[in-house]
Each structure stands twice: as C-alpha cells, then as structure tokens.
C-alpha cells in the first residue's frame, strides 16, 4: 500500500475518459480539488475481465473511489464494494434507461439500483436524476454542471437584438426539427429575425433568414457574445428529462436570454415564469415557442434584464470553484458539507 499523505487520495474510475461527461464531471475538477487538499488520480476501467478484477481489487489503496456513470454486473459491484473504503457514484444522464424510444431496460434498471444502493454517497447532475437515485439511497446530492464564466459583464456587450442562436453537436442538431413550425412561422411574422446556426450541417427554416457558421471554439464564443436569444429544443423522453443542457449554461454565462423546451432541467434552470423573475423561458408546443420568441424579440430591454438574471444565477450556482468546494466537502465526508440533498 502506498504511503499515506495528508491529502485525501481519490481514484476516479471511468469507461470513457474522452467523453464530454467525464471532462465536465471529473477531469475539469482535478486541479481545483488539488488546491483544496484532494488528490484525484484517474483510471480507465479496462475491458478485459482479468484487468477489471485487478483494478477493483486495488481500490483499497485510496480514501475514496469516485465512480463515473458506468453500470456494473452484480459480481463486479460486489468486488468494488468489498474493496472501496468510501464509494461515491457520479452520473449526469438517466443511465437506468436505454436511449431507445421507450427507454425500457431491465438489465440497466437492476444494475442502477444495485450500484446506487451500494454507494456511500451519490452525486446526481440534475434534480430529476436525484429523484431517481433517492429510491435506493438517502445520501443523494445534486451536483450541477459547472461552467467557466467568460470575463464579461452580462448585458453590457453590444448584441444584435433580433438574432437567435443555436449551437451544438451533430447529435443534437436534429432537435431543431422539433421547433421547425415555430421558426418557419416566425420568419413570416417577424421578418427582422435571423438565426445564427453554429453547427456542423446547414439547415433552412422557410422564410427565416439563417446564417450557417461551422462550429469551432472561436465561432461559438463569438456567437455567444453577439447574439441575443439562445435556443434549446429537446424531445420529451425519459432520457432527455435527466439531461443537463450545457448550451443553456453557456447562454446564461454570457448573459443571454434563452428559450428551451419545457423538459427536465430546462424548467428548473429557467426559474419563475413571471416576466420580472424569469431567467429563461420554456415552451411545450409550437404556439408557446412562437409566443416566447416574439416576446423576447419585441422586448429588448426585458431580454437584457433576463440575461443579467441568468448570468447572476450561473455565478451563484454553476461557477466552477463553487462546485469544486461542494464536491470537496462530499469527498471529505464533511458533516457540514454544503451540498444539498435531492
């Protein structure tokens, strides 16, 4: 066994070290946690059986095992629980469900229940996920997605008040078809509006002027600083209800107003629907999308104020150092850890 140090030694185990989830949930916190007295070593869970057993049997050299997402068969979970001194399970997707349309998966459900029940603590990326975990474990904490705030005062930069923005990956670009009727009607009723599409494939929406820009980190940041209203359409499925839409946090961190589908964490993040309190808008059908878009486009002052509230909310709840302190409290097993239960 290696020599113990004063710092807490954590082994973070993942199957997908190059995934956005691992980057956002664990990798981006390694340095902030080190400054808080927690040393995190990462380990890729191997595919070969013998190496899996070897990995699980050595975790007792660490104070904490930080297990990322992956669900285990019962016998591997038993080994993990035998050797882990303190086991923290971290997930940001409803992994108990399949990505199929109906979401059903008896194998996933059983493995999820067994892993959650066997963990000493659970870090869930959203309130919906926290509720799923609470069925099997009382020590569940909401650890929201963190974001690095741009060095920018929300609402102060000049924006094109009639320019909408969608940005994202090829896998989520198809969700724009969910709001195609609203965007096409907007092009007819509000000809000043324009959509900047920072993506991988061009799309058109009837009479709505659309400017396609190939996604790069630079084109993304430029669009976030220049456009006025962000879009986040999502399907209403058991999988998407547990998602933590990162693009919404990006919009809000730049002080943008935004509108998204009335699904899952979008509803929580948007906050009160009252005009003077909302941090964003949500819509459940084409009419609500069109009404919300027209409201944001015609009330520039209200959109700017919404963007400022959104930025303030991010500073209070999603700023990286703030989240790092919350995670540190949980990994240290502080009795007065500020992490909120689901």
What's the confidence (pLDDT) of residue 112?
A: 97
Inter-residue contact 98 to 108 (CB < 8 Å) = yes
CATH topology classification for 8-146+319-331:
Rossmann fold (3.40.50)
Give first-to-last CA distance, the chain, whole Å.
Answer: 36
Order of strands, sheet of 64-68, starting from the edge strand that comes earlier in the sequence: 38-44, 8-14, 64-68, 87-91, 121-124, 140-142
**From residue 233, how far is each of 23, 26, 72, 323 by CA, in Å?**
24, 27, 32, 26
Q: pLDDT tens, position by position, for the chain (342 residues)?
A: 344 457 899 999 999 999 999 999 999 999 999 999 999 999 999 999 999 999 999 999 999 999 999 999 999 999 999 999 999 999 999 999 987 766 778 999 999 999 999 999 999 999 999 999 999 999 999 999 999 988 765 445 568 889 999 999 998 999 999 999 999 999 999 999 999 999 999 999 999 999 999 999 999 999 999 999 999 999 998 888 888 789 999 999 999 999 999 998 999 999 987 677 899 999 999 999 999 999 999 999 999 999 999 999 999 999 999 999 999 999 998 755 544 455
The yes-or-no answer to whether 8-146+319-331 and 160-317 have a common fold is yes
Q: How far apart are CA 283 and CA 293, in angstroms?
A: 10
Where exactly are the structural domains of the chain? 8-146+319-331, 160-317
Residue 256 contacts by C-beta under 8 Å, 6 or more apart in sequence? 154, 159, 165, 224, 227, 228, 229, 230, 307, 310
Nearest to 306 by CA among 234, 254, 236: 254
- Amino acid 3: pLDDT: 43
Residues 337 and 329 sit within 8 Å (Cβ to Cβ):
yes
Cα distances from 94 to residues 59, 124, 224, 304, in angstroms, run 26, 10, 29, 34
Do 269 and 165 meet the contact criterion of CB atoms below 8 Å apart? no
Measured distance CA(91)–CA(129) in Å, rounded: 8
- Taking each continuous run of H as one helix and of E as one strand, the counts in the chain are 14, 12
Report the DSSP beta bridge partners of residue 195: 164, 210
- In the beta sheet, which residues pair with residue 9? 39
Q: Which residue's entry shows tokens 């981006």?
A: 28
- Residue length, the chain? 342
Question: Is residue 60 a contact partner of residue 84, using CB atoms and an 8 Å limit?
Answer: yes
CB-CB contact of 70 with 45 (8 Å): yes
Residue 46: predicted pLDDT? 97
What are the two backbone dihedrals, phi and then psi, of residue 19, each rounded to the nearest 5 degrees? -80, 155
Q: H helices of the chain, where?
A: 20-25, 30-34, 49-57, 74-83, 106-118, 127-134, 170-173, 180-189, 217-226, 246-253, 265-270, 286-298, 300-317, 320-331
Burial class (CB in 10 A: 0-12, 13-18, 19+), 216: exposed
202 in helix, strand or coil? coil
Instruction: Please check whether residue 220 is in contact with residue 324, taking contact to mean a CB–CB distance below 8 angstroms.
Output: no
Q: Which residue is it, tokens 């229940």?
A: 113
Q: Which fold has domain 160-317?
A: Rossmann fold (3.40.50)
Whole-number pLDDT of residue 341 = 53
Q: What pLDDT does residue 154 have?
A: 45
Please tell me the predicted confidence (pLDDT) of residue 7: 87
Task: Specify the pLDDT at position 220.
Answer: 95
Q: Going by C-beta distance under 8 Å and a sequence separation of 6 or more, which residues neighbour residue 204?
A: 210
């Amino acid at each position: 066994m290696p020599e113990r140090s004063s710092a807490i030694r954590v082994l973070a185990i993942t199957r997908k070290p190059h995934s956005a989830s691992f980057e956002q949930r664990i990798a981006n916190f390694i340095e902030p946690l080190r400054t808080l007295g927690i040393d995190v070593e990462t380990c890729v869970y191997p595919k070969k059986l013998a190496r899996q057993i070897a990995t699980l049997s050595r975790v007792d050299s660490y104070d904490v095992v930080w297990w990322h997402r992956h669900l285990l068969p019962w016998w591997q979970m038993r080994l993990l629980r035998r050797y882990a001194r303190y086991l923290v399970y971290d997930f940001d997707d409803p992994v108990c469900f399949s990505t199929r349309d109906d979401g059903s998966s008896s194998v996933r459900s059983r493995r999820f229940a067994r892993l959650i029940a066997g963990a000493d603590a659970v870090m869930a990326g959203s309130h919906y996920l926290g509720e799923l975990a609470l069925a099997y474990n009382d020590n569940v904490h909401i650890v929201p997605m963190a974001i690095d705030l741009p060095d920018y005062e929300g609402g102060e930069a000049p924006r094109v008040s009639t320019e909408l923005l969608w940005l994202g990956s090829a896998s989520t670009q198809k969700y724009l078809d969910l709001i195609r009727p609203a965007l096409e009607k907007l092009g007819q009723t509000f000809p000043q509006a324009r959509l900047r599409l920072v993506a991988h494939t061009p799309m058109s929406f009837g009479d709505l002027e659309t400017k396609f820009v190939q996604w790069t980190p630079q084109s993304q940041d430029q669009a976030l600083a220049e456009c006025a209203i962000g879009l986040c359409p999502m399907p209403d499925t058991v999988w998407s209800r547990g998602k933590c839409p990162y693009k919404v946090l990006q919009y809000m961190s730049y002080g943008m107003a935004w509108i998204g589908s009335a699904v899952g964490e979008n509803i929580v993040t948007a906050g009160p629907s009252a005009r003077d309190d909302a941090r964003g808008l949500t819509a459940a059908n084409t009419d609500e999308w069109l009404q919300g878009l027209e409201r944001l486009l015609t009330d520039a002052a209200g959109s700017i104020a919404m963007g400022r509230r959104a930025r303030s909310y991010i500073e209070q709840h999603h700023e990286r150092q703030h989240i790092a302190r919350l995670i540190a409290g949980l990994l240290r097993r502080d009795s007065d850890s500020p992490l909120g239960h689901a």
